[in-house]
Amino acid sequence: MRLFVLFFLCNYLAQIFLIPPTTAGAATIEANSRDESNNIDFPPEIVEESPVLQKWLEEIPNVLEDIKHDPAFRSRVRLGFTIFPSSKDSSGLNLGIEDIFIKRSGFTLSVDYQTAFNGDRNAAGADLHYFLLPLGSYFNFAPLVGYRYIQSNDFFTDGVRLGLRLMLALSRTGGGDISVSQSFVSVGGDREVGITSFSVGYAVAPSLRLSGDIERQNSIEDEDNRFSLGLEWLF
């Protein structure tokens, strides 16, 4: 009788304080089944033809972070026809490369050239922008610094350009955006020029957009303006 009671007591204590071996085994089986469910075998030809699938097989990306830092606007080459109303409505050309991304650091580089066919107006320069919000933001703003040369009739100036640019991306694919900037050339000098510009682009094809921009220059000599219509190639 005593042996029976002792056996019963030992068995009861074992059930309370010891983990049944079947529990650990069940947990191992469950973990293995999860691992097997994540290992999906794709045909080699499908993997070779899909860079996205290759990336996902190597490491599952953080999609939210990718969206956040993937630029909401695109680099582009611009060719436009320009009218200079303040210079006897003379006409000319507007050429430029806009927003060349320096990796995904927030820095972009823009270069442009404007000229009137009669030689009364010329301008050229390069600007470096640093966008303060993630590049994936639909609204962004960037301080800009660069160099610019300006010639209007007998007046000319050149020097460092400082300013601020606002960017509103209407479509993440480059389908449309609006840009506004205010800048100054030769700040503090006797030939200082203030430049206000407004530009808009709208896609008519996956890599082709119509663009328009308005620019106004204020100097001690005169107030000049410019209107441009053109085409932009996205890349």
- Per-domain residue ranges of the chain: 2-68, 76-234
Quick check: 33 pLDDT over 60? no
Report pLDDT digits (tens) over 214-234.
999 998 878 899 999 999 999
Q: Is the dihedral of CA 96, 108, 186, 213 positive or negative?
A: positive
* Fold topology of 76-234: Porin (2.40.160)
What is the percent of the chain with per-residue pLDDT over 70, rounded to a whole number? Answer: 77
Identify the weakest region by mean pLDDT among 7-11, 54-58, 63-67, 77-81: 7-11
Question: How many CB atoms are located within 10 Å of the residue 184 CB?
Answer: 18
Q: Please give the C-alpha separations between residue 192 and each of 27, 116, 132, 188, in angstroms, as whole numbers.
A: 75, 22, 27, 6
Burial of 55 by CB count in 10 Å (0-12 exposed, 13-18 middle, 19+ buried)?
Answer: exposed
125, 146 contact by CB (below 8 A): yes
